[in-house]
Amino acid sequence: MNTPVVSIDPLRAREKAAQYDRDGFCLLPPVIPAELLARVTPRMEAVMRGEYETGKKPLDFWRGGDDNPNGLRKIDQAHVSDRAIYEAITHPAIGEWAAAVTGARRVQVWALQMLVKPPGGNARGAIGWHQDLHYWKTWWQPGSNVFTAWLAISDVREENGPMHFAAGSHRWGLIEGSDFTSADEASKRKMIPEKAEWHDVSGAMPPGAFSLHQCLTVHGSQPNVSEVPRRSFAIHLCTEDATPIPDRNIDTKGGGYDYLEHLDDASICPVIYGR
Ligand SMILES: O=C(O)CCC(=O)C(=O)O
């Protein structure tokens, strides 16, 4: 078992676990020290400029739907390129909280998205309403315990376009209409199943704090209308109760990337809690 680095009050852990179970997400307190946040911020900029401290390239998947400089910048697997980013996203307190909330014995990173939302309110900074499982179902067998820790590196207030969650939507099953790339706010209405209600809850949080959300929880975010970038990491996690689809049809030769091919490589898929 890991040596704890944060003392998690058992009552608080039970309260957060109950919220995660009831609403499909929960918000957790700041865990990343100010000193590490100060080191990570310029390294995120460096990776965006194409400077890789380790000499290894990340996967650069998406820039706001096109090469629009005002669009969201999403760089996948940025932790392979930079040690400070790796240190932040593997901080033991994230693993300890994730285990306390989900009841897992083991928590492992299987993918990372570095998300930088530029200031100025461009609509390309929005992230459409979606369920993560819509994108993950080609990797993980049904029922796998796969979820996300979303870590704020900058102050993420309402004007910075924080994530919003549809509370309770993890009980809707896998629904039609997920679209990460859509800035169409009205699309959320189309996703609501008959008789269900939409309870929109903000995931605004201070730097160094994080949220946990389930893979069926509907979420999205609005543009950043402030004057500073919104910086964050979506850390995709799995537990001992997650099973990769054995014969995944991922065309790696055709330029696709199979995240789960690297589960035995701690430099890509580190275990952050348990063994
Ligand atoms: O950063 C956002 O606003 C959304 C991120 C997201 O979709 C996720 O963490 O699953």
pLDDT in tens, 6-37: 789 999 999 999 999 999 999 999 999 999 99
- Closest ligand 1 atom to residue 230 Cα is 1
DSSP strand E in 65-214: where?
Answer: 73-76, 107-117, 127-130, 146-152, 163-166, 200-202, 210-214
Q: 52-109: per-residue pLDDT in tens?
A: 999 999 987 766 655 677 788 999 999 999 999 999 999 999 999 999 999 999 999 9
* Cβ atoms of 192 and 198 closer than 8 Å: yes
Q: Does the beta carbon of 111 lie inside 6 Å of ligand 1?
A: no
Q: 38-52: per-residue pLDDT in tens?
A: 999 999 999 999 999
Domain ranges in the chain?
10-273
183: which residues sit within 8 A by CB, 6+ positions away? 123, 124, 126, 128, 223
Query: How much of the chain is in helix, strand and coil states, percent to nearest 5?
Result: 25, 25, 50
Rounded CA-CA distance 143/225 in Å is 38
Q: Which amino acid is present at 118?
A: P
Rounded CA-CA distance 69/208 in Å is 26
Q: Does the beta carbon of 234 lie inside 6 Å of ligand 1?
A: yes
Residue of 115, 151, 237 to mutate, ligand 1, most atoms within 8 A of C-beta: 115
| CA 40 to ligand 1 center in whole angstroms | 19
Architecture of domain 10-273 in this structure: Sandwich (2.60)
Residue of 163, 201, 237 to mutate, ligand 1, most atoms within 8 A of C-beta: 163
Which residues is 158 bridged to in the sheet? Answer: none
Average pLDDT, the chain: 92
Q: Does the beta carbon of 76 lie inside 6 Å of ligand 1?
A: no
Q: Does the beta carbon of 72 lie inside 6 Å of ligand 1?
A: no
Rounded CA-CA distance 52/16 in Å is 37
| CA 245 to ligand 1 center in whole angstroms | 24
The C-alpha angle with vertex 148 and arms to 244 and 195, in degrees rounded to 5, equals 95
**Residue of minimum CA distance from atom 2 in ligand 1:** 163
